[in-house]
């Protein structure tokens, strides 16, 4: 029997997909997909519009993220891979959920505070309402499990709260409460330039992250330049406290070599970062080269990517429309002509 009923997750096509997206999210999707009944992986292009809409590159970025999913091991014949904007039910459900979302819940969202920065009055409504659209992304499929990095945990919790609020209104268990699935060791991969900041697509410095499309020379250069400290590697994880950059690099090495950080510390004990950086470079290159090559191949065959996206959207639309019809009926809206008799 499958451990997971229906798995759903997504990435924003906002720029270069990076090692944090891979280790914190997509690698876990691949593992979970093998153990779940149904999987849907979307490229959340409408979320990308909430921060500095990059209309010139959005469609290309969307295809690049789709290529990354496939290259990282998501099988499009077993999982629906699609663009969020190809399934209009997401935004429709999002509106209904908006009407169940007290402002107090949204005011607690830390990502809005981080992304809006000091200029909250100037931030757009889409950025503020982003977590409700994310709840709709999940609930429109009645997804049961949502693999994410640590930064998205609060948003999945909001989706649970909104599912509960809607279920209470309906006096029915319409939506299952989705569970966030977070891989503890890779939940938060940090910037290569600052061990206290998350590795992020929107960081201005390319040297802060490894892109999945970086070639070996660039990977080697970025790791050479990665911030470290001058102390040798300790034998225990406890001694890594207050050494954020060292913890991050050893954590990345541990994740890629499928070892615990404890084992990595023991194996490298007493060595300096220059030798560890060489080993880290080697394992990054050997892990990411097949992904980069497959992404390049797919990106040269964009029609193939589009076919996969359209096929995925067809599966997603069928599921979403069925659930949307149920929601509309509960809310008391007159059924749409095209939905009559289809429940
Ligand atoms: N540094 C990270 N470590 C672990 N997981 C991460 N994720 C993102 N960064 C890290 C996880 O990747 C998935 C997709 O993220 P997203 O693109 O939808 O949004 P994000 O979390 O805002 O990612 P970025 O890279 O920081 O993008 P920008 O800069 O555009 O905001 C999620 O599961 C996320 O947790």
Q: What is the largest CA-CA distance in the chain?
A: 71
Active site residue 120: no
pLDDT tens figures, 30-78: 999 999 999 999 999 999 999 877 899 999 999 999 999 999 999 999 9
4-186+301-340 and 206-298: same fold? no
Q: How far is the CA of 149 from the centre of ligand 1 (A)?
A: 7
pLDDT tens figures, 155-204: 999 999 999 999 999 999 999 999 999 998 888 999 999 999 999 998 99
Quick one: pLDDT at residue 342? Answer: 57
pLDDT tens figures, 69-84: 999 999 999 999 999 9
Pocket probe mutation, ligand 1, options 68, 148, 151, max atoms within 8 Å of Cβ: 151
| Residue nearest atom 22 in ligand 1 by C-alpha distance | 200
Q: Can you tell me the distance from the alpha carbon of 271 to that of 286, in angstroms, rounded to the nearest whole number?
A: 22
* Residue 197 contacts residue 190 (beta carbons within 8 Å): yes
Active site residue 201: yes
* Residue 210 contacts residue 222 (beta carbons within 8 Å): yes
Structure tokens at 341: 């008799």
| Residue nearest atom 2 in ligand 1 by C-alpha distance | 20
Active site residue 198: yes
Q: How many CB atoms lie within 10 A of CB 116?
A: 16
Taking alpha carbons only, the member of 280, 279, 273, 149 closest to residue 210 is 280
| Separation of first and last alpha carbons in the chain | 28
Domain spanning 206-298: CATH superfamily: Tyrosyl-Transfer RNA Synthetase (1.10.240.10)
| Residue ranges of domains in the chain | 4-186+301-340, 206-298
Alpha helices per DSSP H over 84-123: 89-98, 103-107, 110-116
The fold of 4-186+301-340 is Rossmann fold (3.40.50)
Q: Is the CB of 189 under 6 A from ligand 1?
A: yes
Q: Is the pLDDT score of 341 beyond 70?
A: no
């Amino acid at each position: 029997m499958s451990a997971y009923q229906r798995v759903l997750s997504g990435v924003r096509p906002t720029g270069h997909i990076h090692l944090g997206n891979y280790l914190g999210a997509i690698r876990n999707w691949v593992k979970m997909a093998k153990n779940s009944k149904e999987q849907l992986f979307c490229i959340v292009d409408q979320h990308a519009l909430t921060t500095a809409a990059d209309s010139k590159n959005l469609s290309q970025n969307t295809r690049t993220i789709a290529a990354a999913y496939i290259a990282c091991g998501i099988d499009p014949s077993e999982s629906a891979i699609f663009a969020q904007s190809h399934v209009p039910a997401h935004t429709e459900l999002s509106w209904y959920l908006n009407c169940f979302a007290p402002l107090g819940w949204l005011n607690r969202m830390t990502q809005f505070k981080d992304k809006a920065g000091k200029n909250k009055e100037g931030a757009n409504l889409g950025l503020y309402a982003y977590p409700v659209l994310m709840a709709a992304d999940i609930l429109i499929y009645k997804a049961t499990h949502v693999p994410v990095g640590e930064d998205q945990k609060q948003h999945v919790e909001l989706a649970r709260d909104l599912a509960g609020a809607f279920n209470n209104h309906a006096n029915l268990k319409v939506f299952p409460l989705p569970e966030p699935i977070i891989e503890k060791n890779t939940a938060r991969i940090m910037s290569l330039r600052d061990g206290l900041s998350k590795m992020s697509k929107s960081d201005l410095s390319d040297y802060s992250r490894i892109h999945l499309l970086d070639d070996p020379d660039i990977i080697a250069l970025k790791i050479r330049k990665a911030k470290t400290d001058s102390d040798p590697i300790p034998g225990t994880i406890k001694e890594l406290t207050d050494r954020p950059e060292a913890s991050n690099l050893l954590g990345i090495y541990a994740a890629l070599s499928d070892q615990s950080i404890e084992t990595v510390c023991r194996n490298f004990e007493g060595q300096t970062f220059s030798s560890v950086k060489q080993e880290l470079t080697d394992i990054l290159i050997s892990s990411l080269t097949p992904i980069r090559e497959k992404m390049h191949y797919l990106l040269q065959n964009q029609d193939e990517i589009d076919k996969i996206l359209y096929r995925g959207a067809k599966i997603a639309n069928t599921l979403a429309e069925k659930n949307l019809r149920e929601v509309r009926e509960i809310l008391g809206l007159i059924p749409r002509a095209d939905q009559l008799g289809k429940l």
